[in-house]
Amino acid sequence: MSLIVQDLDVSFGANTVISNLNFEMKSGDIVAIIGPSGCGKTTLLRAISGLLKPTKGTIVLNGKNIEKQPCEQREVGMLFQRPVLFPFKDVLGNVLFAYKRKKDADMDQVNAILGELGLTGKENQAIETLSGGEAQRVVLARALLTHPRLMLLDEPLSALDVDLRRKIAHEIRSVLKARGIPAIHVTHDPEEAAIIGDQVLHWKDLQSSDDSLNEHSQSNTQIMGEPSSAPPNSITEQDTNDD
């Protein structure tokens, strides 16, 4: 897997959130990007996933330009700050949503992933009874079962307490590396970035240094990120993360 983002601009009306951003990652890498809230990290992930259209620039995944490709065709998984789960389905029902048809489910694989993420025995548990960490593990299990070529992690641990955040960061890294799934993890937490990432990049080094870019990114990203009524299959959750 290779990903090249070149000369990327993203604007919302007259407000530019990302300007002349350049980024490249190689096969199997997990790259952590550190930046303050509102700098445009979420906007970058949404552009890569196809949830929003760049104003300018190219996004090349495995040698193919994908910036005009619909998100459901990109085989990119994404986790958001707040896990989006079906409250009327139990844990297993939410995980099986990774498959278009339940009869296509590979239950050996499902059970293996549930075991790796500490969810064995919780298959029939109601969603509202899960802790924040358990809910994110359910989301991750579902995302992994879609076999993404690339995983995008949009601060999925930010709502957890520090000790749990560190624990799940190790789990995420372990499960992604075991499957050889490359990922981009964005955060404002340097220690979390160091745990998850093979390499750590700073947001300010990825694009032109214009402080005015940060002023409007938070509100505009939120406008573009209104959730759908149900989480799609490959892009696992469409949340209202406003980073």
- Write the pLDDT tens digit of every residue in 132-144: 999 999 999 999 9
Six-digit token pair at 123?
């298959």
pLDDT digits (tens, 9 = 90+) for 6-22: 999 999 998 999 999 99
| pLDDT at 91 (0 to 100) | 97
pLDDT digits (tens, 9 = 90+) for 18-51: 999 999 998 789 999 999 988 999 999 999 999 9
| pLDDT at 28 (0 to 100) | 83
- The answer to whether 177 and 100 are in contact (CB under 8 A) is no
| pLDDT at 209 (0 to 100) | 56
Within 8 A by CB and 6+ apart from 199, the residues are: 29, 31, 32
**Rounded to two decimals, what is the model's pTM?**
0.84
Domains of the chain: residue spans and CATH:
3-224 (3.40.50.300)
